């Protein structure tokens, strides 16, 4: 898959050891759609720096918000045995550091009892920091569908990026970005099902085509209870929407028949009183009839007609 900008991978941001050995401070060119011209990687030997865990803090704008505890504990066991193979990527923040990539490794390192971890320090703008964190998570497939959709939403709303621009940065198609964002229109209960992997992203995309949120949830529960495939879900959704359209058409037909009845009654009353008559009604067959009069004599004339039942 072709990737653009930071979508080429975080490995492109980290200098080769042979290059770094020739200078203490190297500038690495990174294309980020005119957002960043240069990234400065500071280190003395070409190897990652060792940074105290106490000086590292997570990025509040990290796209990923859900971390599986069992998976973290498993990673912590691996770190105790083998150490951290891939360094964290950090950004300087005063006397401390913010994580650009590697929060999962940072969390596991804390569980494992490490005091220091290998890191590479990058000097990035706020937007580039977010983009790098997003891309790293996408490449590792660490984000659930809702986290990914919220990340695209942030790029769109906070940084005014179009769907095409987002697609270029993360190495995906424009339609993939659009379909991902549509997941945020799902009912909250369904979004939670996606996060918990009760239903798949494919199911979510089918459900996103339903405007009725209650119907969305009803079908989502059927997917869960009956282990429906995406194809089976599509058939079920089409069936329910056709049934709904049929009921809607029938209801509209009935309502139109009632409108015709009330319109005929209005015209008949107008011919009897020779005045404007308006009939207002609701769906419960309740309403009111209004007969206009224009002076006292007109009022008396109307009352005589009502009392006598005769047309003047």
Of 47, 126, 111, the closest CA to residue 80 belongs to 111
Say which range, 2-11, 87-96, 172-181, 211-220, has the weakest mean pLDDT.
Answer: 2-11
Average of per-residue pLDDT across 5-9? 45
pLDDT at 22: 38
Element (H, E) at 308: helix 296-308
Residue 267, both tokens:
């015209």
Is residue 103 among the annotated active site residues?
A: yes
Element (H, E) at 119: strand 116-122
pLDDT band at residue 309, thresholds of 50, 70 and 90?
Answer: low
DSSP class of residue 79 equals H
pLDDT at 35: 29
Pairing mode, strands 56-57 and 96-101: parallel
pLDDT beyond 90 at 268 = no
pLDDT band at residue 230, thresholds of 50, 70 and 90?
Answer: very high
Pairing mode, strands 116-122 and 88-93: parallel
Among residues 103, 131, 147, 165, which one is catalytic? 103
Residue 185, both tokens:
């229109």
Long-range own/partner contacts, residues 282-289 (CB < 8 A, 24 or more apart): none
Residue 94, both tokens:
């005063």
Per-residue pLDDT reduced to its tens digit, 19-51: 443 343 333 333 333 322 233 333 333 467 889
Q: Which of 130-134, 165-169, 245-249 has the highest mean pLDDT?
A: 165-169
Q: At what angle do helices 126-140 and 163-170 cross, to 10 degrees?
A: 60
Of 9, 2, 38, the closest CA to residue 131 belongs to 9
Q: Residue 54: which residues within 8 A CB-CB, separation 6 or more?
A: 115
Average of per-residue pLDDT across 293-309? 83
Q: Residue 6: which residues within 8 A CB-CB, separation 6 or more?
A: 13, 30, 32, 128, 131, 132, 135, 169, 170
Pairing mode, strands 38-42 and 56-57: unpaired
Contact 191, 199 (CB under 8 A): no
Q: Which of 85-99, 174-188, 279-293 has the highest mean pLDDT?
A: 174-188
Say which range, 64-68, 129-133, 234-238, has the weakest mean pLDDT.
Answer: 64-68
**What's phi and psi for 130, nearest 5 deg?**
-65, -45
**What's phi and psi for 117, nearest 5 deg?**
-140, 150
């Amino acid at each position: 898959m072709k990737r653009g900008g930071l979508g080429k991978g975080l490995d492109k941001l980290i200098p080769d050891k042979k290059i770094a050995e020739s200078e203490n401070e190297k500038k690495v060119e990174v294309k980020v759609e005119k957002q960043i011209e240069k990234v400065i990687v500071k280190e003395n030997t070409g190897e990652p720096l060792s940074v105290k865990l106490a000086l590292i803090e997570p990025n509040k704008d990290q796209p990923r918000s859900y971390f599986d505890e069992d998976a973290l504990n498993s990673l912590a066991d691996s770190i105790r045995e083998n150490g951290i193979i891939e360094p964290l990527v950090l950004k300087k923040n005063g006397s401390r550091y913010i994580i650009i990539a590697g929060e999962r490794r940072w969390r596991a390192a804390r569980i494992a009892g490490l005091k220091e971890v290998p890191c590479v320090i990058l000097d990035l703008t706020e937007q580039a920091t977010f983009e790098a964190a997003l891309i790293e998570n996408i490449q590792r497939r660490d984000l659930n569908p809702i986290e990914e959709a919220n990340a695209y939403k942030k790029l769109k709303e906070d940084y005014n990026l179009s769907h095409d621009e987002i697609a270029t940065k993360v190495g995906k198609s424009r339609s993939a970005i659009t379909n991902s964002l549509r997941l945020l229109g799902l009912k909250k209960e369904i979004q939670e099902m996606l996060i918990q992997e009760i239903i798949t992203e494919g199911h979510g995309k089918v459900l996103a085509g339903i405007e009725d949120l209650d119907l969305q949830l009803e079908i989502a529960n059927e997917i869960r209870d009956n282990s429906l495939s995406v194809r089976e879900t599509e058939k079920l959704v089409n069936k329910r929407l056709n049934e709904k359209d049929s009921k809607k058409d029938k209801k509209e037909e009935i309502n139109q028949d009632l409108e015709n009845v009330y319109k005929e009654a209005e015209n008949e009353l107008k011919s009897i009183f020779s005045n404007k008559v308006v009939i207002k009604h609701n769906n419960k067959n309740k309403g009111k009839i209004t007969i206009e009069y224009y002076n006292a004599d007109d009022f008396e004339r109307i009352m005589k007609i009502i009392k006598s039942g005769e047309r003047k």
